[in-house]
Every structure is written in C-alpha cells, then in structure tokens.
Amino acid sequence: MPPLTFSVVTGLAVATLAGMAIGLERQWSGHADGAQARFGGIRTFTLLGALAGVSGWFAISGLAGVAVTLLGGAIALVVIGYARASRKNIDATTEVAALVTLAAGTLAGTDRLALASGLAAATWLLLLEKTRLHTLVSRIDDESLRASARFAAMACIVLPLLPPGPYGPLNAVRPRELWAFVLFFSGLSFAGWLARRAIGPRSGLIVSAVLGGR
C-alpha cells in the first residue's frame, strides 16, 4: 500500500469535495429525483470524486492497473446510466458532469490540486448558470456568430501561422508580435461590442468605455 502522506490526504479531500459540489448542484436542480432522474445526485457524485482521487493516488504510486480498473468501472457505470436515461431524455449534462468529476478527482489524486479545483469550480458554475447561458444564446444572431468566428480565426489560425521574425532593418519587423498587438485592440473592441449586444446598449456602452471598445 502506498504511503498516506499529508499531500495525499489533501488531494483525496479535494477530489471528494469536487464531487460533492457538483453532486450538490445536480441534486438541488432536481436532476437526481423524480421520473426524469438522471445518473445520480450528491451521494453518487461524492463517491465518484473520492474514487477518482484514490485512482489518481494509485496511478502515481505504481498501481496504474488498479487505477485504470477503478476508473474504467466508473466510466462504464456512467455510460450505462446514460444509455438507460436516454430512452426518455437525450440530455447528457449529468453524465458529462460525472465524467468531469472523474477527471477532476484523478487530477487531485495526482497532486494537481489547482487544476482539479479550477475544473470542478468551472463545472459547478456552468451547471448553476444554465438559465443565464440559455438566455445569452437566445440573444445571439447571425451577425454575432460570424463576428465571433472571424475573431477566433484571427487569433487561433492567423496568429500561429505568422513567422516570429525578426526581419528588415535593425530586425524591427516581427509579424507575430505585430499581429498580437492588432488582436489586443481588436479584442477590446470586440468585447465592448459583445457587451452591448449581451446586456443592452445603455449598460453595454459603459462596459465598452471601460474596455476601450469602439
């Protein structure tokens, strides 16, 4: 049996709490009870987090086979749960949240506490803000979607393809840095435009002014 140090106990605690937090939201939102109940609630998710934490601990302690077996069994349970529930409702949010719980718990068990905590917190927030996210999506029109796609292409496609340089007299021309500079100001403008579309012209104008948007 691998040694049970303070860092290991901390990792297991973070893994368990991550599962508990996500399970609490699933229970509170009504997805764990009733005729439309999904995979599980606070108890199931807490146990999943703890199991994943133990699996991560085993993985870094030379017991990778045991860790894979535990995680594989947990994933199989989630898949079976979705297969049964999808006969009535194809929504897979709870099952995906369970997989994220396993991932966060495993990270915590391998002593990646910051990443595990951030992943769990982001998932918890995403689940809690369901109504607001759906409202935000309903406000997106064709123009907004195309503008977002263009900015994403500028940042994720054009920028990596540009050579770093330097070129020209005194090695002053650096295409990638120049494009990053353009993206910075374009991003401020884009954020201001999104703010006006998301929260209305009056409030959005204030946000735009703060961000330096157009």
pLDDT at 136: 66
Q: pLDDT value at position 53?
A: 94
User: Mean pLDDT across the stretch 79-93?
Assistant: 78
The residues spanned by each domain of the chain are 6-128, 135-211
Determine the residue type at 101: T
Task: Please check the confidence at residue 165 and state whether its pLDDT lies above 80.
Answer: no
Gap between the Cα atoms of 63 and 108, Å rounded:
16
pLDDT at 164 over 60: yes
Instruction: Read off the pLDDT of residues 12-53 as tens digits, 9 standing for 90 and up.
Output: 999 999 999 999 888 887 766 655 666 778 899 999 999 999
Give me the percent of the chain exceeding a pLDDT of 70: 80
What's residue 213's pLDDT? Answer: 45
CA distance 104 to 13: 12
Specify the higher pLDDT residue, 153 or 88. 153
Does 143 score more than 70 pLDDT? Answer: yes
pLDDT at 204: 47
Average pLDDT of the segment spanning 63-86:
88
Condensed to tens digits (0 to 9), the pLDDT of residues 170-209 reads 777 888 888 888 888 777 777 776 666 666 555 544 554 5
Q: 60: exposed, middle or buried (C-beta count within 10 Å: 0-12, 13-18, 19+)? A: middle
Whole-structure pTM value? 0.69
**Angle, CA of 149, 153 and 154, to the nearest 5°:** 120
Per DSSP, helices labelled H in 60-129 are 64-85, 93-109, 113-128
Confidence of residue 9 (pLDDT cuts 50, 70, 90): very high
Give the pLDDT confidence score for residue 190 in this predicted structure.
72
What was the pLDDT predicted at 185? 79
